[in-house]
Amino acid sequence: MTKKTVGSAAIALAIVVGCFGLATPAAAGSAGVTGGSVAVTAHKSPVKLDAKPDKSTVKVGEHTKIRGHLALSPFAGARVAAPAGGVDVLFVQQLVAGAWVNLASGPCTPGDDFSIDLSFHVAASLTLRVFAPETDIYAAAYSDVFALVVI
């Protein structure tokens, strides 16, 4: 019985010491300590992506635009200001057999409107969304899913 108690106490002590050892670098990094080998990971600024097609139905070969806005988070503060000349790429994606496939891409500056031109050469009913991949500053974002019918 004594061995069991000593073993349990040793395990508990090891867990406490291990947790303290893991918590110390993170606490030091979050307190603004610099130098040493403590790595502090910055959080990416969230963005909101709104998108929709100009028309819900288009003819085969007809050009249409997917328009929207890549909004900066109002809570992220000054660090979300778009870098001078900074342009990100957005992707129009189609749902195909349960996977999102890139159809087209276009430029967008965070905080601005965008427009991506598309045309289709076959009749189909498409499920689409716009995707903004993660960057050095911003988190990834997806628009709501929308439908486009090509007749």
Task: Tell me the backbone φ, ψ of residue 128, rounded to 5 degrees.
Answer: -125, 165
Q: What is the pLDDT of residues 111-143, one digit of tens each?
A: 889 999 999 999 999 999 999 998 888 889 999
110 token code pair: 């965070």
Residue 87's pLDDT band (boundaries 50, 70, 90)?
low
Q: State residue 98's pLDDT score.
A: 95
Q: What is the CATH architecture of 47-150? A: Sandwich (2.60)
Q: Which residue has the higher pLDDT, 7 or 137?
A: 137
Domain boundaries, the chain: 1-41, 47-150
Q: State residue 151's pLDDT score.
A: 96
Q: Which residue has the higher pLDDT, 138 or 53?
A: 53
Q: Which residue has the higher pLDDT, 74 or 133?
A: 133
Whole-Å CA distances, 106 to 35, 66, 109: 41, 10, 10
